[in-house]
Amino acid sequence: MIDSSEVAVQIKEFHEKGFLVLPGLLPASLVGRLTREVDHWVDSGLRQRSIDACLRPEECPEPEVVELQLPAHGELAAHPPLLELLADEHLLGPSFVFHHLHSDRRSSAAAGKPWHHDYEQRPQRDRRLPMVHALHYLRGLRPEMGPLAVLPGSHHEIAAKDARAHLGTAELPGEVVVSELPPGSTVVLHSALFHTRRAGTASEDTSGAVTGAASGIEGPGRYMIDASYCRTGEPWPPVKPYWRRILAVGRERGLGQGRWAELFEERHFGAYEPGGAGRAA
């Protein structure tokens, strides 16, 4: 489904616009395994335990499993077509490191998320080194699932992550809305690009079942895995207190062997500082 010429144009425009859309990047076989793993991650409580361990580490133990230990999730983090794309000089270039991964399933009737960006820098002071977020939509996107809106060019601003949060999910001049994508599609954002998740058009009845257009989907919900990577060159702040363990899993599994040998190396990170961790993807 990917038009290589269209992708080439988007890559060249990435510095200016800060995003690119890759319809159907992930093969159906991988999407199927990822979907089952997301269901397990959410339904078993592992997702919530991972969030609790970040938000309240003094009270909550580390989760017994981290995302990269799930077979398909690990494969996704080192998915060759994605890494080849990120290695382009217009994106991250040849030397970059895995930062984190979040996995989630949301009801089609869930609320939106206000305008924000996800560039990890404390304090926010420059955009010298790029960081990207790859948003993988396992079942694609439709308006009833909750569209993604981005603000092209806003990644050039030096601003706090929540600088536009007071606007909620309001429409902004110049925004681009991504609401129709086939299963297995990926949107790559410069992490400093302001974006929002709007509420879907589906509703829930009193039993919690999804009604409306989304009820025809094979299983309700918006499946999204958010994987982040950053160019090497200076220490990046980790977002989880057990970040060393996550990187160790990547190395132990041999993910990114060969060309991507730096993908899970600890030396590209600084000290963990509480605050802002454990956010829902």
pLDDT digits (tens, 9 = 90+) for 70-85: 999 999 999 999 999 9
Give the closest residue to 201 by CA, choosing from 179, 182, 183: 179
Mean pLDDT of 199-213: 52
| Mean pLDDT of the region 2-7 | 83
Tokens linked to 140: 């694609």
Q: What's the whole-model pTM score?
A: 0.91
pLDDT tier, 3 (very low <50, low <70, confident <90, very high otherwise): confident
Q: Say what percent of the chain tops pLDDT 90.
A: 81
Q: Cβ–Cβ contacts within 10 Å for residue 221, how many? A: 24
Give phi and psi for 49, each to the nearest 5.
Answer: -65, -35
On the CB side of 18, how many CA atoms lie within 13 Å of its CA? 23
N residues, the chain:
281
- What mean pLDDT, rounded, does the chain reach? 90
Average pLDDT, stretch 18-47? 97
At residue 214, the pLDDT reads 34
Question: In sequence order, which residues have a C-beta less than 8 Å from that of residue 248 and are 6 or more positions away?
Answer: 264
- Does pLDDT of 206 surpass 70? no
Q: Nearest 5 degrees, angle CA 96-CA 236-CA 150?
A: 75
Is the predicted pLDDT of residue 208 greater than 90, yes or no? no
Check residues 276 and 155 and name the one with the higher pLDDT: 155
Of 223, 216, 214, 217, give the one whose Cα is nearest residue 143: 214
Instruction: Identify whether the C-beta of residue 263 lies closer than 8 Å to the C-beta of residue 98.
Output: yes
Average pLDDT of the residues in 210-230: 67
Residues 148 and 176: their CA atoms lie apart, in Å, by 8
Q: Is the bond preceding 27 in cis, omega lying within 30 degrees of 0?
A: no
Tens-digit pLDDT profile for residues 164-177: 999 999 999 999 99
Strand stretches in 138-184, DSSP E: 148-150, 176-178
Q: What is the pLDDT of residues 89-121, one digit of tens each?
A: 999 999 999 999 999 999 878 899 999 999 999
Over range 198-202, report the average pLDDT.
83
DSSP 217: S
Q: Which two tokens stand for residue 270?
A: 């600084």
pLDDT at 241 > cutoff 70 = yes
Classify each residue of 249-276 as buried b or exposed e, where b means 16 or more C-beta atoms within 10 Å of its C-beta.
bbbebebbeeebeebbeeebbeebeeee
Tell me whether residue 45 is exposed, middle or buried, using C-beta atoms within 10 angstroms of its C-beta: 0 to 12, 13 to 18, 19 or more.
exposed
